[in-house]
Structure 1
Amino acid sequence: MVGPRLLLLSAWLCVAPVAALAEGCADAFAEGRRPEIINPKLAERAVPLCYEAFAVLHSGLSRTPLYAAERLTRDSVAAARRVDRIDAFHDEDALPAADRARLDDYARSGYDRGHMAPAGDMPTGVAQAQSFSLANIVPQDRALNRGLWAAIEESVRRLATRRGTLYVVTGPIYSGDAVQAINGRVLVPTQLFKALYDPATGEAGAYLMANQDNPPWQAVSVDTLRTVSGLDVFPMLVSTAKVRAMDLPEPRAYSRGEPEGDERPRRRAPQTDSFESWAKDQLHRALRRLWRDLMRAIF
């Protein structure tokens, strides 16, 4: 007899397909053009992966993404806010075993498993499940991941809501001669970046910071980012847009339910005292908690 955990795992795999080894995901890239590798060392053992809501260029040398690209829209951000987060980190089976990170690489490493394409950006449950692939993850300082980096991710979502559409490219930088590796396999970034492009205004720029506790952040131009990262994240941009950094929102923590952008608080729906409505709500909450617990036990 098949156990309930195996059945649940099978159901999960049915809704969370592995990445496609393909040159697809054109919608994730501004004008359909992928970031270009300027530093030829980055190209070795680099594999493009296509997911439902984002694309990754994965490095078999660092066993991390070189970048993750996504298109954020007002509608996709609104949809993502309706998806409950279920942490389910997993190895990427679409990659060769020798070139991919493993869950045990991160165990007791002292680093968070930091998303490049954030789980909070994912507009469906399937897309969110895919975002937990280790092909989309880097070793990230815990305080940074849970503080400044989370604030940047939320500030970018809110900017996308205000402006309508943003293209976002996020990635690690490995600089210097003493780059560390967790478990002797997965390289630890020395810096991280998140680059934005607004197709309506033609503006672009990037957040750049060290991968450490409470670092200062910089707003840099795409041209400056090209120099430090070895990537031209938006190759279709005209030179004048590449050398000037757009005004980026100051990263800040938002309280739960705080209105987006310039939106005014909406009136609350009339409260119902129906026992049936209350019972349905409680059942839904219990099922969500059970689902999270089972996913964590499996993965």
Structure 2
Amino acid sequence: MLSCDVIKARQQLIQHGVVVSDRSVLGVGSGSRSRGQPPAEPQRPRGGGGASRCPPQSPGTSGTESPGLRADGERVSPGASVAAMKYGFPSLANIKTRESYVTSYDPRTRTASWVIERLNPASLSGSSNRKYCDFREDDSVHLFHRSTNDDYRGSGFDRGHLAAAANHKWSQKAMDDTFYLSNVAPQNPHLNQNTWNNLEKVCRSLTIRYLNVYVCSGPLYLPRQEADGKLYVRYQVIGKNHVAVPTHFFKVLILEQADGRGVELRSYVLPNEPIDEKVPLDRFLVPIETIERASGLLFVPNIMKRTSSLQAVTDRPTTVPRIHQ
């Protein structure tokens, strides 16, 4: 029997014109909590975290629509996950809906493959505060395939948000949901607290100019040429659960222009390492095809189903580190 989360995800996909089978939405959404599992350890101090003062979330809960929601993304709660589905999903494996975002979880890496969220001025406004949030395990993911706070403790990596907490001030639960460990990945502390944080701020600032800003973020594991002249994909794993450390991160921005003037697309790839703060973010713009090839995801076909005008911003200096394809 399908769980409520799986049925809900399937219905939402169908409402958006995506033909799916029950199997395509099975996975993280259909997992059940393993009995007797201890609660997550308190988060270790790092930029912006704090002790949780909220009642704990029910294990495996996901975002649910408020009364009056429509599946076409209109008249929904600011930033609600159903609204983030407007331009489809880059893939259909292990879909999970939360209050403020939709994610596809990769049990092999113990991180998400991608996370989609919708930003607008309403979603950025509110009294929610991250000091009431705490990083915690995602009990809807099987015990064998989830990450824990212990995996990150002493690893030298931050728990880098994919859907940023500051993007969802409209609801304390929406912000709280961004602290599931299924929404983070091991990230270089300097990158997390500086360049990645600056890119998140840019995403929020674009809500002033655009009607809606759809943001899809995720990890990449890219090849590198080694001394023997061959290409290898090598990455570190941390903790007893072997959480994969991405070599790079991507962020795809789908920018809805007002008055139906079409969609603008910006796509970034950042290495998971310290970046000089003097380097402009535009230096990391890449063609969307680069991310599609490297990740195995597809963005453009789904976007073109919803708009007849798509402009991709790809201008960047030639000194961007090469991404092998």
Q: Give the alignment's TM-score, normalised by structure 2.
A: 0.63
CA contact (8 A) 2:211 2:256 kept: no
Displacement, 1:96?
0.3
CA distance change for structure 1 residues 198 and 21 in 2, over 3 Å: closer, same or farther? Answer: closer
What residue is the counterpart of 1:154 in the other structure? 201
- The residue number in structure 1 matching 2:251 is 194
Q: Does 1:54 align with 2:122?
A: no
2:59–2:140 CA contact under 8 A, matched in 1: no
**Mapped partners of 1:73, 1:190: distance in 2:** 30
Question: Contact 1:140–1:211 at 8 Å: present in 2 too?
Answer: yes
Look up the match of 1:36. 91
**Relative contact order: is structure 1 or structure 2 higher (C-alpha 8 Å, sep ≥ 6)?**
1
Could you list the per-position Cα deviations for residues 20-65 of structure 1 after superposition, in whole angstroms to 9, with x for gaps in the alignment?
499x94321234x11137xxxxxxxx52111001011111000001
Q: Which runs of 5+ in 2 are unaligned?
A: 1-50, 65-70, 72-80, 224-232, 317-325
Query: Match for 1:203: what amino acid?
Result: E
The structure with the largest helix share of the pair is 1
The DSSP-based 3-state class of the residue aligned with 2:222 is coil
Q: How does 1:117-132 map to 2 (within 5 A)?
A: 117-122=163-168, 123-132=170-179
What is the aligned partner in structure 1 of residue 111 from structure 2?
A: 64
Over the matched positions of the two proteins, sequence identity in percent amounts to 28
Judge which range, 156-165 or 96-105, deviates more.
156-165
Higher mean Cα deviation, 219-228 or 118-127? 219-228
Paired residues for 1:35-114 under 5 Å: 35-36=90-91, 46-79=93-126, 82-86=127-131, 87-114=133-160
Q: Kindly tell me: are residues 97 and 208 of structure 1, through their superposed partners in 2, closer, same or farther at Cα, counting changes over 3 Å?
A: same
Aligned residue in 2 for 1:245: 313
TM-score (norm. length: structure 1): 0.69
For 1:166-177, what aligned pairs fall within 5 Å after superposition?
166-176=213-223, 177=233
Partner of 1:101: helix, strand, or coil?
Answer: coil
Extract unaligned runs of 5+ from structure 1. 1-7, 38-45, 249-299
Distance 2:264 2:115 in 1: 20
How far 1:88 sits from its partner (Å)?
0.2
Return the match for 2:237 from 172, 181, 188. 181
Structure number with greater Rg is 1
* C-alpha distance 243-202 of structure 1, shift in aligned 2 (>3 A): closer
d(CA) in 2 for partners of 1:241, 1:36: 23
2:151 alignment partner, SS class: helix
1:135 paired with 2:182, answer yes
* Aligned alpha-carbon RMSD (Å): 2.9
SS of 1:163's partner is: coil
